[in-house]
Structure 1
Amino acid sequence: MERLISLAGPPTALIVDFASRLTVRPESLTAAEHSMFTRALVLSHTAQARPHGEQRLPFFNTIIWIVDKESDIPDWILIDNPRIRHVPVAKPDGAARRVLSPALLRAVPGFQQAAANVRADAERAFIDGTEGMLLSDMNAIATLARVENVSVERIADAVRRYKVGVTEDPWLQIDRDKIRNAEAEISKRVKGQTHAVTHLLDLVKRAMTGVGAQRKGGRPRGVAFLAGPTGVGKTELAKTITSLLFGDESAYIRFDMSEFSSEHADQRLIGAPPGYVGYDVGGELTNAIRERPFSVVLFDEIEKAHPRILDKFLQILDDGVLTSGRGDRVYFSEALIIFTSNLGIYRQSESGDRVPNVVPGELFVNVQEKVRNEIEHHFKVVLNRPEILNRIGENIIIFDFVRQEVAEQIFEHMLRTVLDDLVTQGITIELDEVSETSLKQLCLSDLSNGGRGIRNQIEAYLINPLARGLFDQDAQAGDHFILAGTDAATLRLQKR
């Protein structure tokens, strides 16, 4: 640098490439690093312009530092230094990508022979799919298409492969007959929520067919906001949909948002920023999506998350991309996003007390209206984030209370499940009619907690006495017992 500054002859430039790698930690320089930048600072102030050319215009010999971000150079060199200019080089915008696309796509199989309209469609898909990417990314996608012989008509598949590692659209690989007959399968596990099941299946079908997808920017395949009372099947429906898509209900990514109530909990999702403990580990959400881009992502009890975290969802819902703490871009373009919430079941009264907004027994149409209004009030007034509500759109699915007839179905299903599980162990249990009726009345006496409340009552008044009796009598395969009592609280196991 010192030789360059005083170099005679035509104006000369020194390019310091990968200058971000000159230092280990810009905020704590070593003695050698500090000395180098100090010399550079002194040179920037002592350098003199020299006349050059016929018009004898003043020129400096210039040093160009190429860095990833401005903070890679010590602040004390940049701030208030008139001899240094910060020149940001932005990512290619739509106009730049439009100019570059024909040249990059020229080598893609079939481009030269394709009709003009096919070329135009391919260029449009390429431009939309590479939003936010660098020129090197675009070049890599074109190279990928050429190497893997992806035709120009399917350039979107090459973009998908580059983003998430999947060439074929995985949504097209789902068994359509399974989804076509899904309502009957779901009804075995989620009772009395036909409208919610139909709405969520419509989202899945839209994701599979691509109807109205508006895929510009790589938005998620679908977004659903499941709201309603506790214990009515919101999480169970998400699990069942996952089971239909993947063949395994555990193959979904679930986040309990009550664990993200603190202001800085977003670092758990996307990872700690540089310089902080755990920076190299990455975030729980970004890591999970990188490993399984084709997934159902469930954010349970979203209202309990800190408002700062909700801002992250804006990026996911709008652009389908999230930047991790390490700077990696993670794409949600193949994911189905599901939020669950108990918002709207309670509201704040004028005195500030928490009071029921809806109660069991109300007409479902009234429940829908009241819950939806309370959700809108929460996002627009309480959180001051109406834009999140706009991104979800009409995909707010309100679940009904567990009604009496549905509660009876849930009770029967849970009871049969408990007894059938014992049959698989070779133990037969009979429940006399009086005891079953008494147990049923007890389990259905309070439906405010939905199916979960029924399960709790069955555990307390059936499973616990049953387990106690089987243990005390050393039950073996082949045994036959009768469970009887004057009421549900006095059930006793008798060997037959």
Structure 2
Amino acid sequence: SYHGIKIDAEMISLIVEMSDRYLHSRSFPDKAFDLLDKAAAKAAMASQSRLTRESVTETLSETTGLPLEIMDEDPAERLERLEDFLNSAVPGQPRAARDVARVVRIAKLGLELRPEQPDGVFLFVGPEGVGKHEMATALARFLYGSPNKITEFDMSQFTHRSSMSRLIGADPSFVGYGERSGLLAKAAEDSPHSVLYFRNIDMADQVVQQFLGEAFEQGRFTDAAGARISLSNTTVVMSLSGLQETHRGSQMGFVAHVEEEEDRRATTGKLRSEHRMGSGLVDSLAATIDEVIEFQVLDREATEKIIGERLVSLKSRLEAAQPVVINLDPGLASFFADRLSRERKSLAQLERLWQEAIVIPFTRLHIDRHTQGARAEINIRVEGGAVELHTV
């Protein structure tokens, strides 16, 4: 017994298994003893006579910040659903979803050769507006229980070697030394089970890139205060700047002709090699990449599906902000897909189009109705080649 709680051999095995799976940053036997101590103390406070699986998983959830439902499910069975989940979250990218899921499954099931390293280091490549950010967010939601379990770093702000202090903290000669002030240090310490997303990675100074390469290779780094911080429970995603993507041709994020898509597929293997070796990354960082994930140029069907889903999300936000009911014209997705194609814009510019076509007119229309104390029902329709809002 421990803390007056009876502990079966089955619970000892569970503690060892869960410690190994979720506490990569610590070593045996300390991490197992620590989990046992906290779980037994929790059981004692609940006036239990025997340690249960619930006490162990609840303790581990509090320690890691991961939701209970992730720990209660068999990891192999859960990871079998990852590819389908990513396909649903990011339409039109089946190959990207497949490749990401494959690497993550290997890492999360403990089959990787270097378990101390992050659970996947990915380089996402492809034109703007094809779902790279959405894929990273979907990974955070599935693996760590929340779309907020992601920290983004715009590496265009780390173009000088002096910017290292922004990642790992202030140098001993500067004010603030000893505080957990580095952005990467704080993110990895506060949320060790999360996605780290480095945008515009090719724009970072070579010293910064070399540091990241060493950190990913070792699965840890030392911050300015001398603390060793683990990255072994994180998933790392990097993407390139628009300057590195311009050689890919179409920058809209979707294609107008089948022939263009077929030509792109024929060069996929070449592009993978070019992106790994000629992407503006230093060799030490490029060597840590587990997989270069090539995002497809979206076809019309996938584009309209994404726009339709985002329109539903916009509708929900507007209805939550004001006491109104909104009816969407089914032709809106096709209308905005046409406009993006005509103006050669990507899905990344969709929100700006909506500001002009929907949000600003909605605000004005609702203010007029609200002053009369009425609850409005609003139809958003395509009429005469433009978006029109009408109250019912």
1:370 to partner: Cα distance: 5.0
The structure carrying a bigger helix percent of its residues is 2
Aligned counterparts of 1:335 and 1:441: Cα–Cα separation in 2: 39
Match of 1:399 in 2: 295
1:145 to partner: Cα distance: 6.3
Mapping of residues 379-390 of structure 1, within 5 Å: 379=279, 385-390=282-287
1:192 to partner: Cα distance: 0.5
Aligned counterparts of 2:333 and 2:222: Cα–Cα separation in 1: 56
Contact 1:367 1:400 in 2 (8 A): no
Match of 2:175 in 1: 277
Cα distance change on mapping 1:262 and 1:213 into 2, 3 Å? same
Alignment of 1:227 with 2:162, yes or no, is no
Aligned counterparts of 1:287 and 1:192: Cα–Cα separation in 2: 35
Match among 183, 194, 197 for residue 295 of structure 1: 194
Mapping of residues 400-439 of structure 1, within 5 Å: 400-422=296-318, 427-430=324-327, 438-439=335-336
Alignment of 1:205 with 2:105, yes or no, is yes
Alignment of 1:336 with 2:235, yes or no, is yes
Aligned counterparts of 1:448 and 1:367: Cα–Cα separation in 2: 23
1:444 to partner: Cα distance: 4.2
Structure 2 residue ranges without an equivalent (≥5) = 1-8, 10-19, 38-62
Mapping of residues 95-174 of structure 1, within 5 Å: 173=71
Cα distance change on mapping 1:465 and 1:321 into 2, 3 Å? same
Match of 1:263 in 2: 161
Secondary structure at the residue paired with 1:410? Answer: helix
Aligned counterparts of 1:262 and 1:269: Cα–Cα separation in 2: 12
TM-score w.r.t. the length of structure 1 is 0.58
Cα distance change on mapping 1:269 and 1:320 into 2, 3 Å? same
Contact 2:366 2:376 in 1 (8 A): no
Aligned counterparts of 1:289 and 1:329: Cα–Cα separation in 2: 11
Match of 2:185 in 1: 286
Match among 319, 326, 333 for residue 225 of structure 2: 326
Aligned counterparts of 2:198 and 2:361: Cα–Cα separation in 1: 36
Alignment of 1:461 with 2:357, yes or no, is yes
Cα distance change on mapping 1:329 and 1:438 into 2, 3 Å? closer
Cα distance change on mapping 1:319 and 1:421 into 2, 3 Å? closer
Aligned counterparts of 1:456 and 1:171: Cα–Cα separation in 2: 37
Which digits, 9 at most, give the CA deviation of each residue in 1:345-388, with x for residues without a partner?
224xxxxxxxx656643434245345334424535xx55x3232
Aligned counterparts of 2:268 and 2:207: Cα–Cα separation in 1: 28
Cα distance change on mapping 1:208 and 1:463 into 2, 3 Å? same
Aligned counterparts of 2:314 and 2:342: Cα–Cα separation in 1: 20
Q: For the aligned residues, what is the CA RMSD?
A: 3.6
Secondary structure at the residue paired with 1:264? Answer: helix
Aligned counterparts of 1:295 and 1:438: Cα–Cα separation in 2: 37
Cα distance change on mapping 1:477 and 1:420 into 2, 3 Å? farther
Greater relative contact order (Cα 8 A, min sep 6): structure 1 or 2? 2
Mapping of residues 48-87 of structure 1, within 5 Å: none
TM-score w.r.t. the length of structure 2 is 0.71
Contact 1:223 1:337 in 2 (8 A): yes
Aligned counterparts of 2:167 and 2:137: Cα–Cα separation in 1: 21
Structure 1 residue ranges without an equivalent (≥5) = 1-109, 111-124, 131-136, 151-164, 348-355
Contact 1:261 1:305 in 2 (8 A): yes
Cα distance change on mapping 1:231 and 1:319 into 2, 3 Å? same
Cα distance change on mapping 1:432 and 1:319 into 2, 3 Å? closer
Aligned counterparts of 1:443 and 1:294: Cα–Cα separation in 2: 37
Secondary structure at the residue paired with 1:397? Answer: strand
Aligned counterparts of 1:426 and 1:145: Cα–Cα separation in 2: 52
Which digits, 9 at most, give the CA deviation of each residue in 1:275-301, with x for residues without a partner?
222212242212322233222211122
Aligned counterparts of 2:114 and 2:107: Cα–Cα separation in 1: 11
Aligned counterparts of 1:273 and 1:260: Cα–Cα separation in 2: 16
Contact 1:483 1:493 in 2 (8 A): yes
Match of 1:80 in 2: none
Secondary structure at the residue paired with 1:253? Answer: strand
Cα distance change on mapping 1:463 and 1:256 into 2, 3 Å? same
What is the aligned-residue identity percentage?
22
Contact 1:345 1:358 in 2 (8 A): no
Which digits, 9 at most, give the CA deviation of each residue in 1:149-168, with x for residues without a partner?
79xxxxxxxxxxxxxx87x9
Contact 1:171 1:208 in 2 (8 A): no
Match of 1:253 in 2: 151
Q: Count matched residues.
A: 330
Which digits, 9 at most, give the CA deviation of each residue in 1:35-87, with x for residues without a partner?
xxxxxxxxxxxxxxxxxxxxxxxxxxxxxxxxxxxxxxxxxxxxxxxxxxxxx
